[in-house]
Amino acid sequence: MFRLCNKYIFYTSCSKCKITSNVCLNLVFHKSTLSAQNKKQKLEKNICKFHYDALDIFTNTLILKNITKWNTHKLSHTNELFKVKSDSIFKLCDDTDLLIKYLQQCVDGYSTVTESTLKHFMLTMAKHGQIDGLILIEKLNKKYNYSIKKSALQLNFAEAYWTNDNLDSMFNIFEEIYPTESTKINYVLEPIINTIVKSRGIASVIMVSKFVNSIVIKYDNYHPMCTLWKYFFLSDLYNDNLEAEKLLRQNKDLMKYIQYLVPIITNYSLKKHNVDCVRRLMVILLKYNQIEIYQWVLRSLFEYYYTLGNVGQCKEIMKHSIALNIPITKKHQSQLINMVLKNKQPQQINKEVTETIFKLMF
């Protein structure tokens, strides 16, 4: 049997008494396996007879990890991947080409891989967009009868397609598994749709629009469409704002779901001091007769200007609310009167006085 023996000697000193000691590690490299002859337990023996602390453990563990990484790197540059019986050497490996060779070796029956390691490899392949690697993982999952769900595999395929800018394949997968993985898909769609809208690519926008429409038609689920509408609406581009209006116009039930986004959009916009966005939102709410939520936005806008001490805008909001017969709270009315009267200590104003002042004011 082909055998190479390498001895590594590491010098270290005790962190307490400063006595220098050495640790000897013998690595034996067989054709079929790679092992540390002294094993991890020997590395973790006391460097100093009298002092043993957490730093010693950390140092010894780091030595073992670095040696493992070095040998993994060495294996990846050989012409032929040795028949490694254990998958532990690959756990720290991020070289997808090497991992694909190893997975193919497992498919061919020369090696085996545990389910936990296979799941780890699956995430690595998805992150790097390695479709071939995921196909091998799918085969091994069936071969060993592991419990990795098909939908979980499909989600990783979708991530790999996203990495490779293959939006069409990604959305096809999302559409197929949406009934079982809607929560996860809705979660990942947020950054994906945001990126697509910001990239301003016409083809990408067409694909995502087609996808959200399909989800509505097939599954009667408006969440992806609401997400798309939100990023169209929040966009700085006028054309994107028009697309948001178009979505509302073409989907009559969409407004029913968008109203739940209104508080989020309002608070986000006011924190950014983007009052124009809030005003556009109010126009849409009035257009679709969403009076209750419109009233909430109006109050939020009043509080925003009140915090800034902007008497003029607070008066305009109050005047606007009276004209539309959408009253704001008594608290806000008192706040406005105290601002106008420049009361240093805000006072509660009774109803009669409030009405009199408002008649004089407006």
User: In this structure, are residues 53 and 15 in contact, taking their beta carbons and an 8 Å threshold?
Assistant: yes
Backbone angles phi, psi at 184, to 5 degrees: -65, -40
Q: How far is the CA of 289 from the CAs of 254, 269, 286, in angstroms? A: 14, 22, 5
CB hemisphere CA count around 91 (13 angstroms): 12
- The contacts of residue 340 (CB under 8 Å, 6+ apart) are 311, 315, 357, 361
pLDDT tens digits for 67-118? 555 555 554 444 345 454 445 555 556 788 888 999 999 999 988 899 999 9
* pLDDT at residue 323, rounded to an integer: 83
CB hemisphere CA count around 56 (13 angstroms): 26
- The whole-number average pLDDT for the span 323-350 is 67
pLDDT tens digits for 263-276? 999 999 999 999 99
Specify the 3-state DSSP secondary structure of 27. Answer: strand
* pLDDT at residue 61, rounded to an integer: 59
Top mean pLDDT of 60-69, 99-108, 161-170, 312-321 is at 161-170
The more confidently predicted of residues 79 and 278 is 278
What average pLDDT does the chain have?
Answer: 78
The more confidently predicted of residues 323 and 185 is 185
Selection from 43, 42, 37, 71 nearest residue 58 by Cα: 43
- The whole-number average pLDDT for the span 47-65 is 53
User: Residue 179: is it exposed, middle or buried by C-beta count within 10 angstroms (0-12/13-18/19+)?
Assistant: exposed
